[in-house]
Amino acid sequence: MRIAMGVEYDGSGFAGWQWQPGRRTVQEELEKALGRVADEPVRIVCAGRTDAGVHATAQVLHFDTGAARRPYSWVMGSNSRLPPDVRVLWATPVPDDFHARASAIARHYRYVILNRGMASALRRRQLTTVHLPLAVAPMREAAAHLLGEHDFSSFRAQGCQSRSPNRYLHFIHVEREGDRMHIDICANAFLHHMVRNIAGVLIDVGTGRQPADWARQVLEARDRAAGGVTAPPDGLYFAGIHYPAAFGLPRHPIFDHLPADARRYSPAECRENSISLPSNSG
């Protein structure tokens, strides 16, 4: 039986998602808990691996098991054995052709900024503080240069192992709510550090250090050295995955902003080396 799960976690206490010898990881904690519920070893596959300090509100994983458990039992049994900074939100049986990573059509990240003179005492590891005032309008103008399919070499980490730097960015929404600012980014897939590097560029534009057109110049350079600083991991959240409706999995309403044509492509066509999709105004 193949089971899909939705998971959230506070990444501040982890060395990242993936197993690392001698270091605390989200994958290790989940596999230990699920193994105890299943009474057998469990190996999980996630929709997208996150780095140290990065959080998730809607991570999705799958695993195969011979154990027969109700969805409620998977959720409650796992949570009773997990540390308080990891929680399973839902579980459901899925067909054998479901794959948490390869079946995904689009992924959504949210970058959260506290824009005020003083850092937060309560959420210092859950958001990034920018002390200088941020202007929303130039950040939105800069973000518009990144929409569509591009070579995002300027926004990938030097150690990124992806075979192709091409990605299709469906939309970037920059919104302010009081002293908080949210940058929501949706793409078919992401390169290593791509969201944090985009956030770094938009922050420099928002503070006035760079003009809005600088985002286009960085993109066209196709060289990481042309980009700005990598924004800290604290404000980054893996916030949603969009799957074909046939799988019947929970869906974040932000994916309503996807172009209609983007939702019609098969998972195989929207994997790492995506085909071109219709442009989106964002």
The conformation of residue 239, written as its DSSP 8-state character, comes to E
- Residue positions annotated with a catalytic role: 51
Among 136-145, 168-177, 251-260, the least confident range: 251-260
* pLDDT higher than 90, residue 245: no
Is the pTM higher than 0.85? The answer reads yes
Asked, colleague to colleague, whether 2-94 and 106-238 share their fold, the answer is yes
The whole-number average pLDDT for the span 235-243 is: 94
Say yes or no to pLDDT of 25 above 80: yes
| Residue-wise pLDDT tens digits, 143-169 | 999 999 999 999 999 888 888 999 999
Going by CATH, does the domain composed of 106-238 fall within 3.40.50.300? no
Identify the band that residue 254 occupies on the pLDDT scale cut at 50, 70 and 90. Answer: confident
User: Minimal CA–CA distance to 28: which of 37, 40, 36, 18?
Assistant: 18
CA distances from residue 140 to 84, 118, 170, 171, 212 in whole angstroms, order as listed: 37, 25, 14, 11, 8
Q: What is the pLDDT of residues 102-126, one digit of tens each?
A: 999 899 999 999 999 999 999 989 9
Task: Report, at the CATH architecture level, how domain 2-94 is classified.
Answer: 2-Layer Sandwich (3.30)
Does residue 275 carry a pLDDT above 80? no
Which residues make beta-bridge pairs with 16? 51
CB neighbours of 158 closer than 8 A, spacing ≥ 6?
A: 224
Q: What is the pLDDT of residue 158?
A: 85
Closest to 8 (Cα-Cα) out of 45, 55, 57: 57
Indicate the average pLDDT of the chain: 90
Domains of the chain by residue range: 2-94, 106-238
